[in-house]
Structure 1
Amino acid sequence: MKNESRIRQLRSTRYRRLAALHGGPLGVALIGRPELAPSFERAMRHCPGHPDLLCAGSGGVPRVCFVGKMEQLAASSARGGESRRAWERRFIEREVLPCLEVFEREFPPELEPMLRYTRDEIEADLAYLKQRGRATAEP
């Protein structure tokens, strides 16, 4: 049980760090890339939205909606429960990864290191959630 508590803490920290990374121009300094701040500032003003999400048509402000998603995952991952882990997996697949696809398509190329870092972190957590889901499904 102690190990599970540590995993929850690490996962929550991961998402809080991603929220900080996307929350403002100084966030890129968290990954050692403060020179990206001006590009980040321009890119994060507006998002065209993803056709499969509520933001379709109106877009949004990524530093609000995407950061909110990261904060929601941070809060959820700090708690236990198999149904919560299943919800997180679906939320990442249906809400978070589509946002990243839009960012990767629309943001300037110089922000690629930030987006790659974000994708790597989220995909690592998603792999954990999928592996955990398979382990709990087995008798």
Structure 2
Amino acid sequence: MEVEVRRARHALYLRLAAAHAGPLGPALLGHPELAPLYPTAYAACGGAEGLPCAGVGGEPRVCVVRRLEHLARSALRGGKRRRAQEKAMVEGLLVCMAHLQQEFPKEFLPVLEATRRHLEKDLRYLQGELSPEGPVPVP
């Protein structure tokens, strides 16, 4: 059962990373019309308050994708300490998603909201609020 949960979480994070990685990514979440807006939306961010990027900013197409890819790799491994690290990373990504909702064009809200919902559900799993049988379906 634990192996299935790890694989499901791994797949979820790979899919979310792909959804933010390039112009065709939003199509994975049902929004192919956003492809032309991707380069300007994901070009720069001022940095979210409470995160290391605060004030200096970054490129969401790099930092968001790398964090999601890191979570995908981590999900395949076990351990309480690792899950605590993942919990902190998911919480940071939730702060990031809230910040990006203010920075990105409003057309991207459905993509950011879908990402936020999946992160919140995985956070509930990491906090022990959801049972381990399939905590996060792949979007």
Please indicate, yes or no, whether the TM-score normalized by the shorter chain is above 0.5.
Answer: yes
Comparing 34-43 and 124-133, the one that deviates more = 124-133
The residue that corresponds to 1:58 in the other structure is 56
Q: Distance in 2 between matches of 1:116 and 1:51?
A: 19
1:74 aligns with 2:72: yes
The residue that corresponds to 1:88 in the other structure is 86
Which runs of at least 4 in structure 1 moved beyond 4 Å after TM superposition?
none
Aligned-pair distance for 1:33?
Answer: 1.1
TM-score relative to the length of structure 1: 0.88
Q: Distance in 1 between matches of 2:33 and 2:89?
A: 32
Sequence identity (%)? 47
Amino acid at match of 2:83: R
Q: Aligned pairs, how many?
A: 132
Secondary structure, aligned partner of 2:128: helix
Amino acid at match of 1:90: A
Unaligned runs of 5+ in 2: 133-139
Amino acid at match of 1:77: A
Amino acid at match of 1:100: M
The residue that corresponds to 1:26 in the other structure is 24
Structure with the larger RCO, 1 or 2 (CA within 8 Å, 6+ apart): 2
Cα deviations by residue, 1:32-62 (Å, 9 ceiling, x for unpaired): 2110112222110001101322212221100
Q: Distance in 2 between matches of 1:11 and 1:30?
A: 17
TM-score relative to the length of structure 2: 0.88
Cα deviations by residue, 1:68-104 (Å, 9 ceiling, x for unpaired): 10011001111111111111112211x2111111111
Amino acid at match of 1:113: P
Q: Distance in 2 between matches of 1:55 and 1:34?
A: 29
Question: Larger helix proportion, structure 1 or 2?
Answer: 1
Q: Distance in 1 between matches of 2:84 and 2:100?
A: 25
Secondary structure, aligned partner of 2:127: helix
